[in-house]
């Protein structure tokens, strides 16, 4: 079975090619995280939505014109022996580029779901190319089912939008964390993700000259790749202690979502996060932040109304003051 969809975007073919192949641009419309080895025979892994990653290899690459790759979902049910194939062709037309996507070799029972998916994401590609922002992806907002690693991918998506909005003029601003400016908190967040990646056996080469969003996204993609491959069983040697793998995943969730709130608060921006996700992470935080950690890693819990939104209750639990305009 074959899916054949075309959309027009008001950019030239070279820009369109970058949008469909480069991780930093893929994250703006299609993926939470993306690893791309863009060469014939090279592989990719795209976390399309939390808990759902597509994997495959590139078969044809013509920069500015066409890219062809195998397609399959990662996991025990992945059809690795007989994956389907996606071909994206770029045709220059007046005022922009026609993007034609042809997905061949799908089993009949998967066509409807993949058609819905490609329509959704190509619509987001149109929005990005036209408006400059596709907006937060509703499909990444409240994963179901959910576990500590799926929620880590969802909180990463929230954090990346906040980080992508940071400007150079924001770097010196004070955050709700007393000891951190925005720039210092970026370093802290990158360092936390890199240290967890190192504990998982990943050697992450952090490029300090890259943007905050790229630094966190690159470190997080490698760390979560390794974590998903390892799973949540057993313990992880963090250097300072052996921690249950679930606790380490909880730490990633708290780092991504609470610091996303810190960045948004420091810069006067609104943090977009689903109540379901923040409620889930609040539960993880309650299972992770022990009383003995207060005064060292976390400040004392602050007071909010019991009826407060779950995100407010989460940040108050981590010791932050919640103020409403």
103 and 156 belong to one structural domain: no
- Residue 159 is assigned to a structural domain of this protein: yes
Per-residue model confidence (pLDDT) at position 325: 53
Domain span at residue 10?
A: 2-131
Task: For residues 110 and 149, state if they share a domain.
Answer: no
In a domain, 224, yes or no: yes
What is the per-residue pLDDT for 291?
81
**Three-state SS at 262:** helix
Cβ neighbors of 166 (< 8 A, separation 6 or more) are 182, 186, 211, 212, 213, 263, 267
Please count the CA atoms within 13 angstroms of the CA of 82 that sit on its side-chain side. 4
Tokens of 32: 């939470």
| CA–CA dist 83, 105 (Å, integer) | 7
| 190 and 56 within one domain | no
User: Are 284 and 309 members of one domain?
Assistant: yes
Predicted confidence at residue 178, as pLDDT, reads 83
Same domain for 80 and 168, yes or no, is no
How far, CA to CA in Å, does 249 sit from each of 117, 254, 296? 28, 9, 20
**Cβ-contact 90, 64 below 8 angstroms:** yes
* Amino acid 25: pLDDT: 97
Within this chain, do residues 113 and 8 fall inside the same structural domain, yes or no? Answer: yes
323, part of any domain? no
What 3-state DSSP class applies to 34?
strand
Domain count, the chain: 2
322, part of any domain: no
Domain assignment present for 263: yes
Distance from CA of residue 183 to its chain's centroid? Answer: 20
* CATH number for 17: 3.30.530.20
Instruction: Report the pLDDT value the prediction gives residue 262, as an integer from 0 to 100.
Output: 97
Q: Are residues 313 and 214 in the same domain?
A: yes
Instruction: Write the CATH number for 230.
Output: 1.20.120.450
171 and 79 in one domain? no
User: Is the Cβ–Cβ distance between 29 and 134 less than 8 Å?
Assistant: yes
Q: Does 325 reside within a domain?
A: no
> Which residues of the chain fall below pLDDT 70?
76-82, 324-325
- Residue 68: which H helix or E strand, with range? strand 66-73
Residues 257 and 117 in one domain: no
One domain for residues 23 and 106? yes
- Residue 156's closest CA among 54, 51, 252, 232? 252
For position 90, what pLDDT does the model report?
98
pTM of the model: 0.94
Q: What is the pLDDT of residue 324?
A: 66
- 108 and 225 belong to one structural domain: no
């Amino acid at each position: 079975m074959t899916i054949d969809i075309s959309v027009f975007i008001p950019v030239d073919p070279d820009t369109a090619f970058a949008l469909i192949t480069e991780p930093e641009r893929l994250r703006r419309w299609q993926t939470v995280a993306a690893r791309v080895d863009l060469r014939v025979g090279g592989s990719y892994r795209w976390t399309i939505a939390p808990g759902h990653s597509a994997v495959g290899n590139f078969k044809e690459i013509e920069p500015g014109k066409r890219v062809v790759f195998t397609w399959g979902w990662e996991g025990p049910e992945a059809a690795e022996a007989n994956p389907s194939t996606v071909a994206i062709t770029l045709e220059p037309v007046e005022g922009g580029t026609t993007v034609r996507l042809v997905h061949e070799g799908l089993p009949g029972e998967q066509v409807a779901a993949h058609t819905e998916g490609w329509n959704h994401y190509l619509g987001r590609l149109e929005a990005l190319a036209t408006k400059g922002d596709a907006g937060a992806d509703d499909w990444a907002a409240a994963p179901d089912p959910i576990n500590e690693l799926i929620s880590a991918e969802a909180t990463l998506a929230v954090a990346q939008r906040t980080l992508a909005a940071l400007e150079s003029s924001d770097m010196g601003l004070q955050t709700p964390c007393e000891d951190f400016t925005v720039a210092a908190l970026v370093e802290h967040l990158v360092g936390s993700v890199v240290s967890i990646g190192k504990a998982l056996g990943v050697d992450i080469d952090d490029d300090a000259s890259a943007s905050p969003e790229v630094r966190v996204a690159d470190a997080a993609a490698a760390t979560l790749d390794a974590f998903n491959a390892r799973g949540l069983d057993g313990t992880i040697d963090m250097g300072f202690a052996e921690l249950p793998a679930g606790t380490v995943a909880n730490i990633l969730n708290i780092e991504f979502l609470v610091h996303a709130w810190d960045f948004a608060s420091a810069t006067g921006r609104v943090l977009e996060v689903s109540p379901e996700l923040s409620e889930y992470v609040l539960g993880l935080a309650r299972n992770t932040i022990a009383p003995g950690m207060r005064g060292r890693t976390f400040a004392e819990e602050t007071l909010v109304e019991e009826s407060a939104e779950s995100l407010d209750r989460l940040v108050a639990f981590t010791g932050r003051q919640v103020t409403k305009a």
